[in-house]
Amino acid sequence: MAVPKQKRSRSRTHLKRAKMYSSIKVAVSTCPNCGEPKQPHRVCLHCGYYGGRQILEIGE
């Protein structure tokens, strides 16, 4: 089995991980209630609606 010859430095690990996370794109859809951008299949954080009804109480 192949084994790494040298320990990878914390800096290298963190640099690669940061690059990986920065490349991940988050899907965005618009809320049918308020039209704000939100993640699909999740409660709208702007108005608190999901599936045509109020889920979260958003204090203005």
Our finding on whether 50 is near Zn ion (CB under 5 A) is: no
Select from 7, 14, 21, 34 the one that contacts Zn ion (CB under 5 A). 34
Q: Are 10 and 18 in contact (CB under 8 A)?
A: no
Nearest to 51 by CA among 29, 32, 38, 37: 32
Minimum distance from CB of 34 to Zn ion (Å)? 3
Nearest to 43 by CA among 27, 26, 25, 53: 53
Number of residues that bind Zn ion (CB under 5 A): 7
**Chain positions contacting Zn ion, by CB under 5 A:** 31, 33-34, 36, 44, 46-47
